[in-house]
Amino acid sequence: MVDKKFFPPEEEYHKPQVVKEAIWLGKEAIEKAPKIEGVPTGIEGLDELFYKAEIDPKTGKVIKKSLGGIPRYSVINLTGVSDTGKSLMAEQFTVKQASRGEKVVFVTVESPAPFVAIGLKERATAMGLKFEEFENNIILIDASSNHKLRNNLPDMFETLAYVYRTYKPKFTIIDSITGLFEAKEMLARQIVRQFFNFMKKWYQTAIFVSQKRSGHEELSAEAAGGYAVSHIVDCTFVVAKELVINPYQARLYGAEIGDLVRFFRIDGCRLCGHDTKLHLMEITELGLVKIGPTLAEIRKRKYQRKDLKED
């Protein structure tokens, strides 16, 4: 016979209760909601790829309006295999925000802070900006040299909260989030969710760089940063590269055999409308990422030239 004093029936442990604070009426929720607006990224060709619906006051019709940047308060997963331009894009975005007078937190997990600073300064110069004019708008947190930060997440969150209170930044970059769950990939989702919730709590617009483990499913978020990280974040951008080794690829990409072609795609963004097409991407000689035309546009341009026949 079970003694009820020591083993009460399960329903007596926790009587179901109504959690009233979790219930919102639409009006209340929308009043607390952030406005959908774009943040210019400093990456040529990217800002035009995000839209929202608006009602044209003149015609009363629904129109597609460009956001002119990534959606504010979004947490973006920027993923790709090595050397696909993720860090360059993160640096360009950081420099752009800092040059606009915004404070940006850059959590570096891959290279020590002074090396990241060199990259940021290089990016600024290539963008035609003077790094000295806004260098103190960038707050670097070095989790690359500091194993305590990398391996002890409570310390990391405490440090981030201190930086948020002290400098009041609106932007956070983590390069890379994958580096924060090295050798414990089964915790990837849990760790990414903690960072995601933290970004939301502090109203950050954030980029999490995540390293794709394999070239398999090159142009999707598959195998990116562990398991199903893209389900947690608001948006996923995928960057990829391919070596042109046959005439078919050369025709398709408008490239020469032996060229390295780069690609960019928005794999999903739940905060606003967006382009979904595969774009060519370029890394200039000065190390600036530019998003180029879609493959369909390249094909169209090609057949506008009379000397080429449809293949």
Residues 48-77 that bind ligand ATP (CB under 6 A): none
Residue 83 as a binder of ligand ATP (CB under 6 A): the answer is: yes
Nearer to Mg ion, 87 or 97 (CB): 87
Nearer to Mg ion, 71 or 80 (CB): 80
Residue 94 as a binder of ligand ATP (CB under 6 A): the answer is: no
Residue 287 as a binder of ligand ATP (CB under 6 A): the answer is: yes
- Quote the least distance from Cβ 300 to Mg ion, whole Å: 34
Angle at 264 between CA 108 and CA 118, to 5 degrees: 30
- Which whole-number Å values give the CA distances from 111 to 25, 98, 180, 295, in the listed order? 46, 20, 13, 34
Q: Which does 68 bind (CB under 5 to 8 A by kind): ligand ATP, Mg ion, none?
A: none
Residue 133 as a binder of ligand ATP (CB under 6 A): the answer is: no
Name the phi and psi angles at 91, rounded to 5. -65, -45
Q: Which of 126, 128, 43, 134 is nearest to 86 (CA)?
A: 43
Residue 78 as a binder of ligand ATP (CB under 6 A): the answer is: no
- Quote the least distance from Cβ 228 to Mg ion, whole Å: 22
> What own/partner pairs with CB < 8 Å and gap ≥ 24 does 188-196 have?
188/225, 188/226, 188/227, 188/229, 189/226, 189/227, 189/228, 189/229, 189/231, 189/232, 191/153, 192/225, 192/226, 192/229, 192/232, 192/233, 193/232, 194/153, 194/157, 196/75, 196/232, 196/233
**Contacting residues for 167 by C-beta, under 8 A, at least 6 apart:** 103, 105, 139
Residues 73-92 that bind Mg ion (CB under 5 A): 87
- Quote the least distance from Cβ 89 to ligand ATP, whole Å: 7
Residue 97 as a binder of ligand ATP (CB under 6 A): the answer is: no
- Quote the least distance from Cβ 59 to ligand ATP, whole Å: 44
- Quote the least distance from Cβ 252 to Mg ion, whole Å: 28
Q: Which residue is nearest to ligand ATP (CB)?
A: 287
What is the contact surface with Mg ion in residues (CB under 5 A)?
87
What is the contact surface with ligand ATP in residues (CB under 6 A)?
80, 82-88, 110, 122, 211, 283, 285-287
